Amino acid sequence: MDAIPSLAPAPLIDPFQRAISYLRVSVTDRCDFRCVYCMSENMTFLPKRDLLTLEELDRLCTAFIGLGVRKLRLTGGEPLVRRDLMTLIRSLGRQIKTGALEELTLTTNGSRLGIYAEELYAAGVRRLNVSIDTLDPDKFREVTRRGDLSVVLAGVDAALKAGLKIKINTVALRGVNEDEIASIAEWAHGKGMDLSLIETMPLGDIDGDRTDQYLPLSLVKARLGQRWTLNDIPYRTGGPARYVSVAETGGRIGFITPMTHNFCESCNRVRVTCTGTLYMCLGQEDAADLREPLRASANDDLLVEAIREAITRKPKGHDFIIDRRNAKPAVARHMSTTGG
Q: Is 87 annotated as a binding residue?
A: no
252 is known to lie in a ligand binding site = no
Question: By percentage, how much of the chain surpasses pLDDT 70?
Answer: 86
| pLDDT of the residue at 319 | 56
Domain limits at 211?
Answer: 22-338
* Residue 235 labeled ligand binder: no
In-domain check, residue 2: no
Q: What is the pLDDT of residue 124?
A: 98
pLDDT higher than 90, residue 277: yes
**Closest Cα partner for 51 from 322, 277, 275?**
275
Phi, psi of 216 (to 5 degrees): -65, 135
Mean pLDDT of the chain: 89
Cβ atoms of 330 and 320 within 8 Å: the answer is yes
Please, which pLDDT band fits residue 322 given cuts at 50, 70 and 90?
Answer: very low
Per the model's pLDDT, the better-predicted residue between 43 and 291 turns out to be 291
Least confident of 62-66, 169-173, 332-336: 332-336
Look at residue 333 in the predicted model and tell me its pLDDT: 47
**Is 50 exceeded by the pLDDT of residue 1?**
no
Q: Is 281 annotated as a binding residue?
A: yes
Q: Is 94 annotated as a binding residue?
A: no
Percent of the chain at pLDDT > 90 equals 72
Let me know if residue 13 belongs to a domain.
no
- Flag whether pLDDT at 111 surpasses 50: yes
pLDDT at 241: 87
For the chain, what is the HEC assignment? CCCCCCCCCCCCECCCCCECCEEEEECCCCCCCCCCCCCCCCCCCCCHHHCCCHHHHHHHHHHHHHCCCCEEEEECCCHHHCCCHHHHHHHHHHHHHHCCCCEEEEEECCCCHHHHHHHHHHHCCCEEEEECCCCCHHHHHHHHCCCCHHHHHHHHHHHHHHCCEEEEEEEEECCCCCCCHHHHHHHHHHCCCEEEEEECCCECCCCCCHHHCECCHHHHHHHHHHHCCEEECCCCCCCCCEEEEECCCCCEEEEECCCCCCCHHHCCEEEECCCCEEECCCCCCCEEECHHHHHHCCCCHHHHHHHHHHHCCCCCCCCCCCECCECCCCECCCHHHHCC
The reply to whether 227 sits in an annotated binding site is no
| CB-CB contact of 38 with 334 (8 Å) | yes
pLDDT digits (tens, 9 = 90+) for 28-43: 999 999 988 888 888 8
Residue 221 in marked binding region: no
**Mean pLDDT of the 149-161 span:** 98
What pLDDT shows up at residue 332? Answer: 53
CATH of residue 129's domain is 3.20.20.70
pLDDT in tens, 26-83: 999 999 999 888 888 888 889 988 999 999 999 999 999 999 999 999 999 999 999 9
Mean pLDDT across the stretch 281-296? 90
Query: pTM of the entire structure?
Result: 0.87
Find out whether 37 is annotated in a ligand binding site: yes
Residue 226 lies in a domain: yes
Q: Which residue has the higher pLDDT, 268 or 89?
A: 89
Q: Residue 167 annotated as binding?
A: yes
In a domain, 9, yes or no: no
Was 61 annotated as part of a binding site?
Answer: no
CA atoms within 13 A on the CB side of 18: 21
Is 274 known as a binding-site position?
no
* pLDDT value for 337: 54
CA-CA distance, 73 to 83, in Å (whole number)?
18
Domain count for the chain, please give it: 1
